[in-house]
Amino acid sequence: MNDDQFHGTGIKPGGLDEISESTQIVDTNMLKQVREGQQQIQAYLIVLSGPEVGRMHRLDTLEVTLGRSQGTEMRINDVGVSRRHARVVREGPAVYIEDMGSANGTFLNGDRLTNRLQLRDGDKITLGSTTILKFTYHDKLDEDFQKQMFDAALRDSLTGAYNKKYFLDHLQSEFAFAARHASSLSLVMFDVDHFKNVNDTWGHLAGDAVLVKLAELANQSVRSEDLFARYGGEEFSIICRGISMGQAAHLGERLRSLVDRTDFKHSGDIMPVTISVGVAGFPEIPVGSSEDLIEAADTALYAAKKTGRNRVMLATKR
């Protein structure tokens, strides 16, 4: 091959060994754009302690209200947090925090706020009984990494649903809120009928495919304010805020019917899949804790299994 041939292929004279030792020259304008895109600095609040540890909220509006109310931009399910607890205000490059007359106060680096103060990178904000937030500046790479860490800590790696720990923590907070404000809270629990037969007949990879598809169907069925979680094995749960047990039963039936009509496929095989569903609701079922609500829903799920499967059963008063 002559020099002209080398130029045509992009290979320099000297052979392949020279390629492995050389550094490729990239387009400088493209490199500049990549660097600028990565270095766009944005202000964030990161949850260090309390519900939703690791959650990252971008402060990309002029004002962000923090509190337990559904109308706040950053909702915090902590019983010690007021409905509208504090707010963060951005004025040009500066970011400020102020208390909004909360019952338990807002603390910045351990000191209770009495007036508006400017936030500095690394400041710690304490709200309620357990919630601690960190104010910080991140670029796009930091944000992506933080989100990956958050998802890894809170989500099931197979299905993408929230994991059991997060489910239990969230349900405890939601139950405390419902009991305090006499509002409705319902729990839907379901699992795959004869799941062992799926694994024994088509293999564990097929079983995993069923769980992934089931999670996909459940995510299509729930509202944005609901929380869908993998409780364990082939059992899943949906926390339904602000709806009655009867309304939650309609959700359970809609999901049961959808699963029954869906073809679950793996390696060309179609696997028949159904689910059994148990539903419990507060205050219709006068339970005293989130654990009691789980027990009531799980008992209803067991009754659905015992009476023939592929059905929805409601909890009854004990």
Token output for 123: 């400041």
Taking 3-state DSSP, the helix, strand and coil percentages for the chain, each rounded to the nearest 5, stand at 35, 30, 35
The answer to whether 234 is a known catalytic residue is: yes
Strand partners of residue 89: 63, 96
Alpha carbon distance 302, 318 (integer Å): 15
- How many residues are there in the chain? 318
3-state secondary structure of 105: coil
Instruction: Enumerate residues 6+ apart whose C-beta is below 8 A from 57.
Output: 44, 45, 46, 64, 73, 74
Count other C-beta atoms under 10 Å from residue 26's C-beta: 9
- Catalytic residue, chosen from 36, 73, 98, 234, is 234
**Cβ neighbours of residue 223 under 8 Å, at least 6 residues apart?**
240
Q: CB–CB of 216/149 below 8 Å? A: no
Name the nearest CA neighbour of 96 among 50, 64, 67.
Answer: 64
What residues are annotated to the active site?
234
